[in-house]
Structure 1
Amino acid sequence: MPEAASRVTSIRVARKGGTEEVLRAVPAEVPVALTHDGSSYAVMLASPVDLEDYGIGFSFTEGVVKSAADIRDLEIVEHDDGLEVRMWLTPDPSRQLVARRRRILGPTGCGLCGVESLEGAAPDLPVVGAGITVSPSEIHAALDALGPLQVIGRETRAVHAAAFWRRGEGLVAVREDVGRHNALDKVVGSILRSGGNGADGMVVLTSRVSVELVQKTARLGASILLAVSAPTSLALRTAEAAGITVVAVARDDAFEIFTHPHRIAVDGNEKNRSESFGHVA
């Protein structure tokens, strides 16, 4: 199995002049094929760690399975040109996947990650439940705890991290990957493998908030998505519709609430503010 990071030599050129040879850690990025019942579903570029979590989480957020129990067997297979997460499904999801493949045979794709139409890029999502309410101090505590747990990130400064936080337990799952979507899928897989769900906690990301990350959060059932970087407009419209509270641009000194602010207990806003700031342009 490839290592998560390797050492390479580079030449550092200073602005003021002068050069020096530097030994630097860089993250591994390998092709990972995700297969179900012997058929390839997708090939992704990912970090070669926590691939069991990745296979389960990706299958769940893609709608291939409804729970970890729908995957009856999983193995990681090494190939000369990459890795394979080989999964075998229980009968019901297996039949549904066959029917799904038959539906997408023939039409010309739009090129958006394998979906067969533009409508497929914005699938119907579940609306999350009431969820939890958190305080600013809990948000900052979750962010403070994440940094020291980013092992590959500290070494390379070149990967994303995703995590899941629960009150009284803190960060119960932290996963890293060269792809921000992959990192979240790994967290989803970890939560499912432990028998949990997203209703009792908060998703934490080091990346920007794109629409796919909101979609994955909605499928997990988490009501709060906390991120270090900014959201996109489509991500906010999707979060608004799914009932998700987006807290982003989160720094040591402040953070911004973009949707459904009633879950963040700032100056009693869970009682005094409306459930949304309104239309997201």
Structure 2
Amino acid sequence: MLRGVERWRGGEVRHVEDHVAEEVPVAFVYNDQPFAVMMATPADIADFATGFALSEGIVERLADVSVEHIETFIEGIEVRLRIPAARAQALARRRRSMAGRSGCGVCGSELLEAALRYPPPVASDVRVTTAALRRALGELRAAQALTALTGAAHAAGWMAVDGSLLLAREDVGRHNALDKLIGAMAAAGHQPEAGFLVVTSRASYEMAMKAASAGISFMAAISAPTALAISLAEHADLTLLGFARDDGQAVYTHPRRLLADRPAASGDTGASAGTPP
């Protein structure tokens, strides 16, 4: 979205058109019952809806949720979903009115036990080299079109074991970006044991919870983790990295999954085939 802005630089003031990230209310309605309203970027809404249902434990598999209708109003976007009756009953028991701010998934929880949820240990056990991690960071940066335009979005990327980018989603909310990615992964049939996650945000409790709930065993964050995220990752056997950069990273839990680059063999000059040293 373009908006007029006064840009002050070097003692000069210019009136220019600037790209601004959109943020709208998105309401999730399950079996005709309102459940949550999240503030989100109005893109990849079907992925957002299914990913949220999976990461929040509303359903356990993609086959148990269907998006019946997405409608845009002046006030925002409404997504109507259908889940099995037993799941709807369980949802009613843990019902919470979540008026989230940019994807705050625990806002509005009525009870402490509803706010904190520890998923079971992940079953996958991917191994990632530091070279693959560096490649992943670069490929995710290049895929952040919304961030490049606005500077106001987070991204979540699903990477192959070699660090190549398979899927990326962006949103003004870091939780939303991850939910959109989880929904897109499920729709595309990507399995958690075949890759790893990179996010361009801090690793909060809920980011770690959503990753582990999706069966992801390796998560790298550009910024810092929180103490509660580290605790959850330790419990869920999730390898959690923070401060992921091209020149290094901090490994907070389960470091066995991060492998150092293979050292050059004796006599190896590092030149590729056909390239003079």
TM-score (norm 2): 0.86
CA distance in 2, matches of 1:124, 1:61: 12
The letter of the residue matching 2:225 is P
CA distance in 2, matches of 1:73, 1:261: 38
RCO higher in structure (CA 8 A, sep ≥6): 2
CA distance in 1, matches of 2:56, 2:249: 30
**Retained in 1: the 8 A contact 2:46–2:67?**
no
Change (3 A) 1:78 1:243: same
**Retained in 2: the 8 A contact 1:202–1:222?**
yes
CA distance in 2, matches of 1:118, 1:242: 19
- Equivalent position of 1:277 in the other structure: none
- Equivalent position of 2:5 in the other structure: 10
Change (3 A) 1:174 1:267: closer
The letter of the residue matching 1:220 is A
Change (3 A) 1:262 1:168: closer
CA distance in 2, matches of 1:87, 1:112: 21
Change (3 A) 1:234 1:95: closer
Root-mean-square deviation (CA, aligned residues, Å) is 2.0
CA deviations on 1:98-123 (whole Å, 9 max, x unpaired) are: 4444xx79xxxxx9523221232221
Q: Which of the residues 166, 174, 177 maps onto 1:172?
A: 166
CA deviations on 1:141-186 (whole Å, 9 max, x unpaired) are: 1111011111111111110000111225822210000000000000
CA distance in 2, matches of 1:92, 1:73: 18
**Retained in 1: the 8 A contact 2:221–2:243?**
yes
Shift of 1:200: 2.4
Change (3 A) 1:40 1:90: same
1:249 is aligned to 2:243: yes
Q: Which of the residues 34, 44, 49 maps onto 2:43?
A: 49
Is the deviation greater in 244-253 or in 203-212? 244-253
- Equivalent position of 2:268 in the other structure: none
Mark the runs of 5 or more structure 1 residues left unpaired by the alignment: 1-5, 106-110, 269-281
1:129 is aligned to 2:107: no
- Equivalent position of 1:147 in the other structure: 141
Q: How does 1:191-270 map to 2 (within 5 A)?
A: 191-266=185-260
**Retained in 2: the 8 A contact 1:198–1:222?**
yes
CA distance in 2, matches of 1:120, 1:40: 17
The letter of the residue matching 1:142 is A
Shift of 1:26: 0.5
Change (3 A) 1:118 1:94: closer
CA deviations on 1:20-66 (whole Å, 9 max, x unpaired) are: 22321000100000110111110010000000000000011111111
The letter of the residue matching 2:171 is D
SS in 2 for 1:218: helix
The letter of the residue matching 2:238 is I
Mark the runs of 5 or more structure 2 residues left unpaired by the alignment: 98-104, 263-277
CA distance in 2, matches of 1:73, 1:229: 33
SS in 1 for 2:244: coil
Is the deviation greater in 205-214 or in 62-71? 62-71
Shift of 1:256: 1.5
SS in 2 for 1:28: coil
- Equivalent position of 2:101 in the other structure: none
SS in 1 for 2:42: coil
Change (3 A) 1:130 1:197: closer
Is the deviation greater in 188-197 or in 150-159? 188-197
**Retained in 1: the 8 A contact 2:159–2:165?**
yes
**Retained in 1: the 8 A contact 2:217–2:239?**
yes
**Retained in 2: the 8 A contact 1:34–1:84?**
yes
**Retained in 1: the 8 A contact 2:126–2:217?**
yes
**Retained in 2: the 8 A contact 1:33–1:84?**
yes
Q: How does 1:84-163 map to 2 (within 5 A)?
A: 84-101=78-95, 112-163=106-157
Task: State percent identity of aligned pairs.
Answer: 38
